[in-house]
Structure 1
């Protein structure tokens, strides 16, 4: 089932032997490039270790279990939520959303048996809080319009889990912005359903910006993220190279990754793109992109490398030497193995605008399973994006 030379699944064999739902589950499991022996991990906890709390929640499926089994951490969350810099009505909305008390079709079906629970907007998935505020088309349009989308990645069973994770991943000063965007997503969604007004993500984010700015007593400066200019790509120190990576998930196709290495003048030294039939979740795709980028840097002979990603949780995990038994931590260990072959490594988080070239490599290249590496004659889409960044840094 495993293609040993590439440490990847033999997709044709998997599809030949297993049913579709089994294929999807198998292809979502990442493999170690070191071809380690199998080990058991608990898929319902981020670190891969079993906990009574997650088992209880898996059995009973209600968010109140978290409140009962995790009182101190829950109190800490509520304290940060009520202290966030946003409007009182936004806090009340967010409190209801995290408690699973919004009038979604899934929630209403618990009181009205037999009620249709398919989303009223996309008509694809069940209409839960998590779907409405992260996965539905309205939500995706707004998250794409702001810089908080990277905090949303991962597999969550409820919006409550997502909210707790985002509060950990985001700086405290951005909690209010995150909550306000969720509130505006809900409003835009309702306008679409009840008034037939299609979502305008730019107008919605301008409204969020105006609200937060007025709350802070500042004039709105425009743009989609309050108090933060679009981030440029910053060159590495002299004698160093900078590696930017990005991962992606292509619906119906598989997963992808992109990497670019540049010098202190911003000139590209190496670019790479990978496409896989493996069906990874976004956090795994980001981790795989980091691994593949570092591996490419080692194989190309680079010694001192600044590694940059738009996934803050991933960068924090590498900086803190985070350990665990999960698939995610297995990939981190693979990455550390290749980092040990470099002379010096430093880690840096960058927002989407500063990671655009890697994003283009991960998301905009023609789909072709396998890896492609360029050290010259770079693809035209990469060259045009590099030109834009060089002009930005010179201005």
Structure 2
């Protein structure tokens, strides 16, 4: 089944696109929040090392992305993901008993926050992904010409500065960019 183009969220909501990658015990988590005019609110990526499997990377992308989305917007959040297994775990009633139960529980708490959060399963065409299977920073950080990407600057809010991030396991080793 071919990949479908990205669809902007309905008016009055934001869309969080998340993805995890995994190779040789190292994972990467990427996330991007866009508003209903398709403007990027933030984009972020994070190394996960060690990482035991692709599902762990997907769950970390969801946890960190949703946490940031709730901090950067007061609107309902639509979460785009290609991981049906992750969505199933989060939407399952009761307690998760997998090795990822602590992360699933944290995501469930965020999803049950005061505003609506919903998941959309998307299809990704890995043949066209420039970094498929290769965890790491976004293309802009790897040296792609900046004119191919929207203008972004690093977030300098205290809770995301390196000294604070090192004490927080969720935001450790994270690069966050936000539109100016």
Q: Same fold (TM over 0.5)?
A: yes
Please state if 1:286 is matched with 2:58: yes
Q: Is 2:20 the partner of 1:247?
A: yes
Shift of 1:232: 1.1
Residue 371 in structure 1 maps to residue 174 in structure 2: yes
Q: How does 1:4-23 map to 2 (within 5 A)?
A: none
- After superposition, the C-alpha distances for 1:272-316 in whole angstroms (9 at most, x for unaligned) are 111132232111111111111111112223331001111111112
| Aligned residue number for residue 238 of structure 1 | 11
Alignment CA distance shift 1:259-1:302 (3 Å):
farther
Alignment of 1:51-90 (within 5 A): none
1:352 is paired with a residue whose SS is coil
Contact 1:241 1:302 in 2 (8 A): no
Structure 1 unmatched ranges of 5 or more:
1-227, 378-395
Q: Which runs of 5+ in 2 are unaligned?
A: 143-171
Q: Deviations over 1:238-262 (max 9, x none)?
A: 110000111112426x221000011
CA contact (8 A) 1:244 1:307 kept: yes
Matches of 1:276 and 1:324, distance apart in 2: 22
TM-score, length basis structure 2: 0.69
- Select the structure of larger CA radius of gyration: 1
Moved over 6 A (4+): none
Point out the structure with the larger helix share: 1
Residue 267 of structure 1: aligned partner: 39
Point out which structure has higher relative CO (alpha carbons under 8 A, 6+ apart).
2
What's the C-alpha RMSD, in Å, of the aligned pairs?
Answer: 2.8
Q: 1:334 is paired with a residue of what secondary structure?
A: helix
| Per-residue deviation, residues 180-228 of structure 1 (Å, max 9, x unmatched) | xxxxxxxxxxxxxxxxxxxxxxxxxxxxxxxxxxxxxxxxxxxxxxxx3
| 1:345 maps onto 2:117 in alignment | yes
Take 1:262 and 1:322, find their aligned partners in 2: how far apart are those partners? Answer: 31
Residue correspondences, number: 145
Over 3 Å counting, the alpha-carbon distance change for 1:267 and 1:309 in structure 2 is same
Deviation at 1:322, TM superposition (A): 5.8
TM-score, normalization: structure 1?
Answer: 0.33
Question: SS at the partner of 2:100?
Answer: helix
- 2:2 and 2:125 in contact (8 A); partners too: no
